[in-house]
Structure formats: C-alpha cells, structure tokens
Amino acid sequence: MSDWDKEFGIIAGSKKENRRIRPGNIERRKRRIRRRRRRTFVCFVIVVLLCVVAVKYLFNRSEGEKLSINVVDAECVDAFPIDDIGKGDVAKVLLVNKENVLPKDYVPCDMVTLNIPFGYYVADEARLMTREAAEHLEELFEAASADGKRLMGVSAYRSYSTQDGIYRNNLATKGEGYTSIYSAKPGKSEHQAGVAIDLSTFDMGGQLGVSFASTPEGEWLDEHCTEYGFIIRYPKDSMEITGYAYEPWHIRYVGKKVAAIIKERGITLEEYEGVMDFNSYVKAGLLKGYDSNGVMVTTEEPTTEEVTTATTTNTSIAPTTEAPTTAAPKLTTEAPKKPKATKAKSTTEAPKPATTAAPKEEPATEASSDDEANEDDADE
C-alpha cells in the first residue's frame, strides 16, 4: 500500500469501488447510458423505415406488374391523342386540368412500357405511357442522347388511386398552399391519361425542381421537345391560366402539329382553340376505343359490325345479280351449298326453296347463332 493510500485511508482492494461512486464518474456513466439508448433508438427507427420502404416498394412493384399485365394485354385500339385528328385545320386535343376531370375508372388501354432510363425506385406503373406518346418520347430520348444530354424518366402514368395518395401526402407534409400549385387532385392529372411524364437528369439524381430548367438537359428539352410532339405543360408566368406553378420537368404529348402551333404562338394548352374536355371528346367520337357513351369498345366489335353490314349489302345486291336469265339457274343450283359458309344469305334464301328444304336450314342457322353467342360471351 502506498503512502497516499495510507494517508487518506483508502484500502487497496476497494479502489475500483471508490472510483465508481465518485460523482464525476457517476455522471459520465449516465451520459454513456443515454448515448447508448439514443443510438439504439435511432437504429431501431432506421430499421423500421427501411422495412416500410421495402414493403412499399414491393407492393408498388406488384401492383405495377398487375396493372401492366391488365393494360398492355388489353385488346383495343390506340387512345388519344392522335396527331392531326379532327375536322378542318384545328386538331382536337383532350384537356385535363382543375376544371376538366377524367373518370375515376378511366385507364388508357393502349399503354406500353417505356424503353428509357428510369431510377431504380420507379414503380412499373410509372413506366407506362400510351403507345403513340411512348414512341415519340423514345425518339426524343435518342436525339437527346446523341447530343450528349442525359435525361431520365421519373413518373409517367399514374392511376387515380396513386394520384390520390400523392396528393394526400403532399397535403400533409407540404401544406395546402404548395400542394394546390404543384400537385393535382385525383382525376385532374394528365398522368392518368398516360400522355404526360416528369423528367430529370442523372446529375440531379432524379430529383424534380425548377433548377432543371437551367441544366443542359432542361435547356435542350425546352428547345426541342415540340419537334417530337411534346410541350412544356406549365410554362413560366402562366399560373393564372394553367392553375399550376412553373414546372420545366413536366411535358405533355399533344402531337407535332399542335405542339408547333403552341410554341409558335407562345400560348398554353388552355389557350389552344382545339381543346375539349373528356365528355365532349368521347361524344365527338375522337377517343378511339370508346363509343359515344364512354363505354370501351374492343377491336372485335367493329369487325363484326363490318361483317354484318357487308352481308346485308350483299343480300341487297343479290336480286340485281339474279336479274339476268343466264345467272338464274346457277344461283338456284348453288343455293343448298352456300348456307354453310354465308349465314346471312341462308336466312334470306330460306323461304325460296321448297318446304322440304326449310327444316334442314333452320337448325343450321340456330346452331350458328348459338355459336356466335358463345363466342361473344367468351370474348367478354
């Protein structure tokens, strides 16, 4: 035992215990414990957030795969907008904004997956676009890449439910003032129509912002996007007309003809004379794939109508061909054989033969009509 220990009466075996009970050491231990607890809590929160992000990503991916299967495999013709459509010199374009909404259940049936670079975090749903718009956007990306510009896609198609979630999230995190000028309510977004897309650059990491306009990619897009049928949908100093703030990253496909007119006049889409809301667009028969009542029409229905109209016209022309005396015996001899191939003629020629031939032709027509009904039910 040292002289110092003897003087202060400290026993060698209890030095460790004495250090533990010193006020300064006790406080230091408390601080270490608090730091450990904070680190543990932060690690726990990080793990939970990572799990939530992973689950959300997998959910969005699965939903996007389901949607892409249902949409891409659908049998229908191209939807809007078709370049140079409409009567006269004014091409018609569908207008979607705060006053002109889309139906809640509307989904473009001609969408395809875009063959452009996206961020790894982008869901499959957001990689879809209508076929015509997708083809022109891919051409735009090829031209930009040839000029050394590295554009990347951020968000193309958004369903009604997806837009609803984005709007609610922005409303809760960024407030009503910001959300009202930067985010559309569900049903009022062009993304649901499959003809709009948000773009960014690799240098910006896929982020969206007004600074995109001053990048080489943003300047190139502003100058050349109309050459491929796209417009900067919400230009600078036009919020009073469009209802939204300046978004240099948001482009909308309207067709080359309309895009050239809008750029030449320096106007917005709202100021173009050929815009129409969804209901007017459908009633005018401009939305391909839909009838005048807004009901989706598949490719098989018009073909059946064409067949029926063709058969009726053939039957109406048939008496004129039977007028010459030389053709009459040929038609009478071939009448029993043709009902198998031409069902419409069998119904019209049934009363002409003798009464013994009528019962033979009636079950054939009934069977054929049943077969057509079964085929229609299977298609539906």
Residues with a catalytic annotation lie at: 247
Helices (H), 275-327: 278-283, 300-321
CA dist 37 and 33 (Å) reads 6
Residue 294's region, left for phi above 0, alpha for psi from -120 to 50, else beta, is left
CA dist 53 and 95 (Å) reads 35
Strand partners, 231: 252
DSSP string, 141-209: HHHHHHTT--EEEEE----HHHHHHHHHHHHHHHHHHHHHHH-PPTTS-GGGGT-EEEEEETTTTT---
Task: Please give the backbone phi and psi of residue 348, each rounded to the nearest 5 degrees, phi first.
Answer: -80, -30
CA dist 282 and 187 (Å) reads 16
Among all chains, which residue has been given the structure tokens 């006053």?
A: 99
Count other Cβ atoms within 10 Å, centred on residue 203: 12
